[in-house]
A and B are shown apart, each in its own frame.
Chain A
Amino acid sequence: MTELVNGKGLSLIPKADVKQSLKDFKSDQEVRWCPGCGDYAILAAVQSFLPELGLKRENIVFVSGIGCSSRFPYYLNTYGFHSIHGRAPAIATGLAASRPDLSVWVITGDGDALSIGGNHLIHALRRNVNLNILLFNNRIYGLTKGQYSPTSEVGKITKSTPMGSLDKPFNPISLAIGAEASFVARTIDSDRKHLQSVLREATAHRGTSLVEIYQNCNIFNDNAFEQLKDPALRDDITLRLEHGRPIVSASKAVVRSASGGIEVVAREGVSEDRIVVHDAHNPDPSVAFALSRLDEPAFEHVPIGIFRQVARPAYDVLMAEQLDEAVAQKGPGDLSELLLGGDTWRIN
């Protein structure tokens, strides 16, 4: 089991016989997102990343719910299932739990995953089903034309909230860590290199990998993540999370606070040994959780990268083991024997 948990999460999935390229993964369907949508960049990043995995294309499945991002499976020449609102993690759970030989991806958005499908998301995470969940977070409802979402900031003025939204948003990273997730990361649509580096780790992880992708909706919530893209600001705001490296931006550093937590301080003058060294593999989730809270209330300094990456047996493997164990104990099932199993009597 241990080899399946960390680093070798792809070992049960058959490898392709020949080298693949980007065009192997493009379907013949016309991509129909709004011009300028962040989804294009994510699609291109995924299409160009998949050949690197070297898996048999037929063993890859993309499952989605409802929303702009959920059209994603139509544009990939793999198996795909565009399902119903919020239910993709549940459908993908049935598929992944019964087919350990598949690489199953869930494409979802902030409304799909955190509102209507919130229950399925948290339960997939706690079970550690072998899924790569890409959560496109644009902090707005796009397909229904611009209502606030469960990640919209308080006071958001939208069509359904003309006087501002009242609800405190979810922090998807905090939520995932609270739901016992074994792999939690954040990346951004505009940084293909970083996005692909996160996908590389996410796919190697056997179990549920939750990847939040900040994604720009240029129609209904344009520039929601502009600070992270603006060359004048981004290097100061972005706290890169890299396992074993100090957590810093160009001008800031994360240090232990006097109260026992962590805080962000000006980097200048801080001695290296005070800076928190990122440990994504720490079994204790409390520091990862604290890191997820650093960007509260919003975007003064935003951790990007892998918050948490810990080894935990995957659900499909555990389920298959129980089946194997049952056979090992009593042999394979025999229907006649089953039917005759109770108190029986014969009438002649």
Chain B
Amino acid sequence: MTKQVQQLDRVIIRFAGDSGDGMQLTGDRFTAGTAEFGNDLSTLPNFPAEIRAPAGTLPGVSSFQLHFADHDILTPGDAPNVLVAMNPAALKANLGDLPRGADIIANTDEFTKRNLQKVGYDANPLEDDSLSEWRVHAVPLTSLTVKALEDFDLSKKDAERSKNMFALGLLSWLYHRPTEHTIKFLEQKFARKPDIAKANIAAFQAGWNYGETTESFSISYEIKPARLAPGVYRNISGNQALAYGLIAASVQSKLPLFLGSYPITPASDILHELSRHKRFGVRTFQAEDEIAGVGAALGAAFGGALGVTTTSGPGVALKAETVGLAVTTELPLIIVDVQRAGPSTGMPTKTEQTDLLMAMFGRNGESPVPIVAPMSPSDCFDAAIEAARIAVKYRTPVMLLSDGYLANGSEPWRLPEVSELPDISQTFATEPNGADGEYLPYKRDTETLARPWAIPGTPGLEHRIGGIEKADGTGNISYDPDNHDLMVRSRAAKIAGIDVPPLEVDDPDGNARVLVIGWGSTYGPIAAAVRRIRRNGGTVAQAHLRHLNPLPANTGEVLKAYDKVLLPEINLGQLALLLRARYLVDVISYNRVRGLPFKAEELAGVIQDVIDSD
């Protein structure tokens, strides 16, 4: 049977199932095939904090959304074109996001009376006409998988577990994805259990063949590779890029990396990744708590290491006192905050931008800390190097604000040439710097205001530092009022004077009256919304802040050049508060805190409303 092939420019697929169904793995593998094929892509995993919530329930639904296209794209997509629903819960939890006319591939085997009742369906939606506005493909995925694995010496339960690979095979057929990498991946993943490897491969191939032969699918789709900038690419998540950025920062600063960390969602993967790279001299220390994680990192920094601690919001709260110690001892330190929904435990696996003001002000005393925020998963690499550059050059703790969306989302990354990475190395003090041949640990560099960094083992520069206020120059304990005033102002001036690049504005026509500005992970949705406005003939300017403290010197000038400034944030207006206070500009806030990234369509509407509101 020859099937019709239709060309598409982009597709958004969401795989959804029980948290034990292997949806994240399925999504990862589909993504790998898509990356290999050469599409541009962006992904959004969405999973519960519970490792195994009760099977078949709404809280147990785990999903993975992938947007891929023949052109460059900026977000994981607003609404799926295709939903793969492995059970009734997955259908019910995701149907609201599905536009009319979208495809639903439902695993009919799981639509049993009991499973339907668990999520409150009185009747089977696959059998009544409640889904008539969608294109439903009812596929008995589980039983087809079991049948395909008849010849294997597997229990029914074990055979059923391969149903996600059957689904992956079917989708791979439907969208013309290459299969070799998935087969190789399965061989490697189950290298010690060759029977399981073979069964999974068989299920994967059976899914592919099912697509080829069944009448449920009359059309398959082709999405041509995207024309991206020339270079070597790989797909990368934010956490992995951040870990690689820290290793690169260690190499480029010529400082051994020391990570002190305590496991916390969604930051733990950085600890996992770094612990695998001991060949680079990376020391990873899983501490007894968040406070010890940052304490050990600071102790290592005193000894001449690139000290890093990785955490999420609740951990930052615990580390605050030690960050203050790093501020006053003026030692380099990187605090990575992979923000998640708060307050308190909040929603650990959901994203938010709600730690900006904590990063900015969440310590006792006048305690300024530079803040850097990456804007996409792959940008976490460059942002980590930038945070290290500032930390080392200015001898200061630096907050690096990632978030759950960047951490777990992925996109193709054009690999940088290592030779083109910035040299961020600084020299340790080795000679006395005082007029009488003494060492003055708080004698500042006249340009950067950084103090010298003399590490233990350096003869003649023995000195003591600590949390008590220090006399300018000598660093001796001082309660002198004027000295304290000087030191508070010097520390503030040092941070305010950090060299950050100017804020760039994307205003192609140069006649926009509305500026939409953002920071961190909202770059993708904002830029996608701006494109929509422009495609429809609208005019809007866009700027995105990577440095939140200090802000680029031209920020005020940029803000004041537009009639209206719109600032979407996944918080209740934290950057807006800072910009309003600093520049007296009447910033218009748009805020949603649903634990999810913005949608491009939603933001396009908001931008249009602001444009139209004269």
Contact = CB atoms under 8 A, between A and B. Distances in A.
Interface stretch (B53-61, B231-239, B489-497): B231-239
B293 to A, nearest CB: 8
Contacts of A336: 418
Contacts, number: 205
Contacts of A347: 38, 225, 227-231, 233
A240 interface: no
A332 B421 CA distance: 19
B329 to A, nearest CB: 8
Contacts of B325: 83-84
Nearest to B421: A335
Nearest to A90: B295
Contacts of A194: none
A319 B38 contact: no
A338 B285 contact: no
B598 interface: no
Interface in A86-106: 87, 90-99, 101-102
A325 B291 CA distance: 29
B35 A345 contact: yes
Contacts of A343: 32, 35-36, 181, 234-235
Contact of B248 (A73, A335, A340): A335
A298 interface: no
B461 A58 contact: yes
A83 B247 CA distance: 28
Given A77-B462, A98-B258, A343-B32, A93 B296 contact: yes
Contact of B283 (A323, A333, A340): A323
B211 to A, nearest CB: 24
A326 interface: yes
Contact of B456 (A61, A119, A327, A340): A61
Interface string B271-295: 0000001111111010111011001
B584 interface: no
Nearest to B460: A58
Contacts of B461: 58
B415 A98 contact: no
Interface in A117-143: 119-120, 123
A322 B307 CA distance: 19
B416 interface: yes
Contacts of A332: 279-280
Contacts of B477: 29, 74
Contacts of B32: 343
Given A59-B456, A90-B291, A346-B231, A82 B418 contact: no
Interface stretch (B465-473, B540-548, B557-565): B465-473
B32 to A, nearest CB: 6
A97 B467 contact: no
B343 interface: no
Contact of A58 (B280, B292, B322, B456): B456
A94 B295 contact: yes
A178 B12 CA distance: 57
Interface in A17-69: 27, 29, 56-61, 63-64, 66
B247 A319 contact: no
A251 B197 CA distance: 75
Contact of B302 (A90, A95, A323): A95
Interface residues of B, number: 71
Interface in B289-346: 289, 291-292, 295-305, 307, 321-322, 325, 329
B468 to A, nearest CB: 7
Given A81-B465, A335-B248, A338-B247, A123 B303 contact: no
A102 B307 contact: no
B256 A98 contact: yes
Contacts of B300: 94-95, 97-99
Contacts of B299: 63, 81, 90-96, 98
Interface footprint category on A: 35 or more
B260 interface: yes
Contacts of B481: none
A254 to B, nearest CB: 35
A84 B457 contact: no
Given A79-B463, A80-B464, A119 B289 contact: yes
Contact of B303 (A74, A98, A323): A98
Nearest to A339: B415
B459 interface: yes
B457 A90 contact: no
A338 B277 contact: yes
B456 A344 contact: no
Contacts of A342: 234-236
Nearest to B241: A339
B15 interface: no
Nearest to B464: A80
A78 interface: yes
B264 interface: no
B307 A58 contact: no
Contact of B292 (A27, A90, A345): A90
Interface in B208-243: 225, 227-236
Contacts of B36: 343, 345
Nearest to A74: B464
Contacts of B292: 87, 90, 93, 119-120, 123
B295 A326 contact: no
Contacts of B289: 119
A80 B303 contact: no
Interface of B: 32, 35-36, 38, 181, 225, 227-236, 244, 247-248, 251, 256, 258, 260, 277-283, 285, 287-289, 291-292, 295-305, 307, 321-322, 325, 329, 415-416, 418, 421, 456-468, 476-477
20 contacts: A29-B476, A60-B456, A80-B462, A81-B464, A83-B295, A83-B466, A90-B287, A90-B288, A94-B305, A95-B303, A319-B283, A325-B278, A332-B280, A339-B234, A339-B418, A340-B232, A343-B32, A343-B181, A347-B229, A347-B230
Given A80-B463, A81-B466, A90-B292, 17 more contacts: A58-B461, A64-B466, A73-B466, A79-B456, A79-B462, A80-B465, A81-B464, A93-B299, A94-B296, A94-B301, A97-B285, A99-B456, A119-B289, A327-B279, A335-B248, A343-B181, A344-B232
